[in-house]
Amino acid sequence: MRQGAGLVCGIDEAGRGPWAGPVVAAAVVLDPGAIPAGLNDSKKLAATKREALFDAIMASARVAIGIAEADRIDRDNILAATLWAMADAARQIDGVSLALVDGNRAPRLPIETRTVIGGDGRSLSIAAASIIAKVTRDRIMLSHDSTYPQYGFARHKGYGTSQHRQALERHGPSPLHRRSFAPVAALLTR
């Protein structure tokens, strides 16, 4: 999407709520002549559709990814880590004059920035960013499942499920766990 002479990028994140793993942000500048059909909020798409759209976006758009690991989340807090990852992604794309950010909080960027509540359902570039962030984070958690199979990351991706809680109680936190999040912190104080 273009605004005047500059490019517009959409920015979104995935992984603010999980107990383990990173928060991942993506910045996407779509090619107006090659917008993949079916872009939508990643949470409203089946995993197979997200994967197909991920490939289509990567093939036709300018994409950048920022990743804030659990140690940054614990040190800075989840909001600050999210904004850092968003800014990191946005800084990787040159020539952008406007950033559209999903939600009501935006990172400090050297360009015009607008927040869009529900943006992943209202802006194609934000929807594309939500898909890139979600699929990237899911793939990261799938890769960690082989290193830490006892936690079941392939199934719950680090989110707070009863299975995840049981694994935490049985094995304690892994290096991927966010020690500042209440369920993990509670185990550490026992």
Contact by Cβ (8 Å): 126, 12: yes
**Which structural domain, as residue segments, surrounds residue 126?**
2-188
- CB within 8 A of 171, min separation 6: which ones? 150, 151
Model confidence over 111-151: pLDDT tens digits? 999 999 999 999 999 999 999 999 999 999 999 999 999 99
Model confidence over 117-128: pLDDT tens digits? 999 999 999 999
Spatial separation of the C-alpha atoms in residues 69 and 176, rounded to whole Å? 8
CATH number for the domain including 121? 3.30.420.10
Q: What's the number of domains the chain is made of?
A: 1
Confidence bin at 188 (pLDDT 50/70/90)? confident
Q: What is the pLDDT of residue 5?
A: 53
Q: What is the pLDDT of residue 3?
A: 42
Whether the pLDDT of residue 36 is over 80: the answer is yes
Spatial separation of the C-alpha atoms in residues 128 and 28, rounded to whole Å? 7
Mean pLDDT of all residues belonging to the chain: 95
